[in-house]
Amino acid sequence: MSSRERILGRVRRALADVEQDDMPYEQAVSRDYLRVHGDRGVEQTVELLAENLADYRAIVHRCTTADLAATLAGMLAARGSRTVVVPPGLDPEWLSAAEAELVLDRAESTPYELDRVDSVVTACAVAVAETGTIVLDGSPDQGRRRITLVPDHHICVVRVPEQVVASVPQSLERLDPTRPLTWISGPSATSDIELDRVEGVHGPRTLEVVLVTA
Amino acid sequence: MSGTFVGMPVFPPPAHPAFPKAAHEAVHNQTLRGNLRHATHTIRGKREKAVAEMSDWAELREAGKQIKDHTLRHLDRYLVQVEESVTAAGGIVHWAADADEANRIVARLVKETGEPEVVKVKSMATQEIGLNEALEAEGIHAYETDLAELIVQLGKDRPSHILVPAIHRNRGEIRDIFAREMSEWGRPAPEGLTDTPAELAEAARLHLREKFLRAKVGISGANFMVAETGTLVVVESEGNGRMCLTLPETLISVVGIEKIVPTWRDLEVFLQTLPRSSTAERMNPYTSMWTGTTDQDGPQTFHLVLLDNGRTDTLADEVGRQALRCIRCSACLNVCPVYERAGGHAYGSVYPGPIGAILSPQLRGTASEIDASLPYASSLCGACYEVCPVAIDIPEVLVHLRERVVEGGPVTREGNKVILKPAKGHAAERAAMRAARWAFASPRALRAGQRLASRTRRFHPRTLPGPGSAWSATRDLPPVPAEPFRDWWQRTQGGKGDKGAAK
Amino acid sequence: MRVALFLTCVNDTLYPDTGRAVVKLLTRLGVEVDFPMAQTCCGQAHYNTGYRHEAEPLARHFSDVFRDYEAIVTPSGSCGAMVRELYPRMGERARAEGRGDTLAATLAPVVPKTYELTEFLVDVLGVTDVGAYYPHTVTYHPTCHGLRSLGLGDRPRRLLQAVKGLELVELPGADECCGFGGTFALKNADVSAAMGTDKVRNAESTGAEVLCAADNSCLMHIGGTMTRLRTGMRPVHIAEILASTEEEPAA
């Protein structure tokens, strides 16, 4: 007998006392929880996102599409970034004013090469206001997961309000589970020393989020 | 690399003493008591605040409970579905009935890559099966990359908490371990390292980075697996998880069969309850979700090892099976007054605290001294049940397991129904309980006992010898009154006619 | 209203003053109290130590003794919780063991009629000011079963706040278990004592003369620790405070 058969057999015997029910799953669980907490307009939802991002030590900037290139160039310059990795599908306009050298992510580039890059700039798939979270889904304007992980400085551009949802339940509706997803809430952190939160471990220690309006 | 790499020891150590004995030292260790008190009280307050932000917490908790119960009731169906969807997404699924089989599978998979080392994301399942030691025996080094796991591994220590395995260490102790041990296994700690948490985190970052960048094989567990999509989820804070899940070419995830949720949508419940219950955050810094493999992004080979190791035996117990709802948040540890004073090591298991006290004796059985003592490692105060985000009634299961220990009876071990004998060492207690039941069966016997006590009350000491000293070593006994209430009641009909005081 | 006092075996044997206080208090409030002499023990210690089957005859006996009363009042949160929370569970377990509905049916009548004292005062009698007088500084420890199993909430505090002369002070870490836990106090004496010591130190820090609770089992443990630590504080059951009046003040 394979272990697969053994385990499935054990499960079935273990459940011998359980009454069969053919209730469809949608009815089997009562979901009386809220879809959204609180009653906010679009502006207030974006405001909450900014607040919660900042609460977990992300640095939040706001600008218009017209100012985006200048804003990003300024942020990179202020950081002193000489090299910045970009995902293949990032809007070329965004970094048109940047003085840093742009490094295009290639399939064959090694983690060591990425480790020598100063910054990374990406878009995002969705942002969650209630939790201060941005979610990346590996689309061409976000790139492979590693490029937002190894460099120490991540700039993420969120188009507001269209990419902002209020809550976790709303965000899942927008995401495609077949894509690799990374949920980011502030820079890397740890609570491992005396259960107190400290920012800055293995992931980017600086997370800057640009909320850009049309 | 110099020296012999020592991983985390397998649990339980061959003959771990019973809980009261193991707790004895911890209770009197003032440093440990201080560390635990500080850490658990810090997180308690924060958790309360994070939960209070959610007006629908009770509903989320109920939904989480129902999702998990439903999954467990149809676990065979969902296991097959997970296998199908992970396979369809490019993953390879393995089934492991016990720890040995899981370890053999993982060791073989690592060997097939030809790599001598692996990096690991913190995972309770791999600790439970003693994977690091099993790999070590095969000549494969496993590096723990979670900060707390690193502290434990470098300190040749044992984990004492589910979420924060080094909770028993304070910052000064951590500094000393880093300064002393890091050079043995790679990049040494920076010169003049102080005990500020930020500097300690930086030291870990530098030490582990070289291991992440060269890693070819990553090993993880998972917080959730979604049956309908084949998606695995790892919730973490530091980014070590992302490193292990995305940089290596091969990823091996060892996941307990109870970690399934049926649908993608179900994550909306647990992604709200887990972070707030564990680290008291609205959301943890990083959550990774992957479905099989993705071209050119992340590991190109993905193995999922589905682990039983006592879970189906636990499932067979209709009271005890609720323990399988656990999402490993550790809220129950952080509120537990017993855990706070005894520390995690006393539980003799990778699962300490209240959840460990009901999980270990079910996964491992109650044959050993430690496992038979764990159901009693609680005052049944109920704080654990109150904070549990999937409403596991831990006191209910504790009492149920106490019954199993003292009465024996039918249980399932490795898939087979067996009849347990009552545990040894409870004979005197059993006799006392029977005698008490006999005495209480009639008020007459009770009254005779009370009168005897009252008449001899002048001779009652306030401390006791022998077994009674368990009480009176630290607490005085109450004085026995001149007459029990029932005599007063009978004499006076509830104070209506006092017919003189008792002699 | 005719109610039965379910005093509990511990109170009957060791704390008759608490029983007398309940009788005095309820009588003052116009309640006709009976003490069924056949009562013994609810079986809690048996059940919680793992001897459920030994507890069953005690539970059946309890039901025989109390089932015909309108209400059953007990000055013990944990024994109240035994009847209300665990008797139904005993019935369910017997059913799951293939022993039918007999036990469940036998125990069912007493479950909804059993009240912990402060619950009975606030919910059934609808009073919070019971006309008591107690000129002391008091801190209140909500015992675990009262707090979490019965959900007594702020009822005891509301009753205490209405007592004339009583100054109620906050107990730090009030919600934390005192470490009694029945046989836990013996089986895990070290941890139990450490919890008790912390509870007593917290109580001491309030400067109160009296630590009050609604369960004498916990008070036995806390009080035994207090005298051993020579704190000078006293443990007092809430019934004795509520029974105390200006005419007949409690000691």
DSSP track, B301-346: EEEEEEE-TTHHHHHT-TTGGGGGG-----HHHHH-HHHHHH-GGG
Tokens at B363, concatenated:
């996964």
Contact A195 B164 (CB under 8 A): yes
Q: Closest-CA residue in chain B for A202?
A: B239
How much is the average pLDDT of A48-54?
98
Q: Closest-CA residue in chain B for C13?
A: B484
Range of the structural domain that residue C80 is part of: 2-124
B17 assigned to some structural domain: no
What single string gives the DSSP state of each residue in B118-137?
Answer: EEE---HHHHHTTHHHHHHH
Q: What is the pLDDT of residue B83?
A: 98
Q: What is the pLDDT of residue B494?
A: 77
Q: What is the pLDDT of residue B497?
A: 62
C242 has pLDDT over 80: yes
B367 to B133, B344, B362: CA distances (angstroms): 24, 21, 10
pLDDT in tens, B114-162: 999 999 999 999 999 999 999 999 999 999 999 999 999 999 999 999 9
Mutation pick from B28, B489, B496 vs chain C, by most beta carbons of C within 10 Å, is B489
Range of the structural domain that residue B214 is part of: 70-307
Q: What is the CATH number of the domain that holds C17?
A: 3.40.50
Domain boundary among C99, C124, C149: C124
Domain co-membership, C96 together with C180: no
B334 assigned to some structural domain: no
Domain co-membership, C110 together with C183: no
pTM of the model: 0.95
- In angstroms, the CA C238 to CA C216 distance is 9
Q: What is the CATH number of the domain that holds B261?
A: 3.40.50.10420
B touches which chains (3+ CB pairs under 8 A)? A, C
Identify the architecture of domain A39-213 in CATH: 3-Layer(aba) Sandwich (3.40)
In this structure, are residues A117 and A153 in contact, taking their beta carbons and an 8 Å threshold? no
Cis ω for the linkage preceding B443 (within 30 of 0):
no
Give the pLDDT band of residue C251 (cuts 50, 70, 90).
low
Q: Closest-CA residue in chain A for B276?
A: A131
- In angstroms, the CA A49 to CA B66 distance is 31
- In angstroms, the CA C152 to CA C143 distance is 10
How much is the average pLDDT of A36-51?
97
How much is the average pLDDT of C51-74?
97
B401 assigned to some structural domain: no
Domain co-membership, C23 together with C91: yes
pLDDT in tens, A90-126: 999 999 999 999 999 988 889 999 999 999 999 999 9
| Domain count across chain C | 2
C248 assigned to some structural domain: no
B10 assigned to some structural domain: no
Which residues, 6+ apart, have CB-to-CB distance to A171 below 8 Å? A126, A128, A133, A135, A165
Give pLDDT < 70 ranges for chain B: 1-14, 497-503
Phi, psi of A152 (to 5 degrees): -85, -5
Interface of B with A in 447-466 (CB under 8 A): none
Domain boundary among C64, C92, C124: C124
Contact B96 A3 (CB under 8 A): yes
Q: Closest-CA residue in chain C for B317?
A: C96
| Domain count across chain B | 2
- In angstroms, the CA A67 to CA C246 distance is 79
Domain boundary among C62, C91, C124: C124
Pick A168's closest partner by Cβ from B146, B271, B312: B271
Interface of B with A in 100-139 (CB under 8 A): 101
Domain co-membership, C142 together with C88: no
Domain boundary among B273, B291, B307: B307
Residues in B touching A3 (Cβ below 8 Å) = 95-97, 101, 308
Contact B442 C15 (CB under 8 A): no
Domain co-membership, C39 together with C118: yes
B38 assigned to some structural domain: no
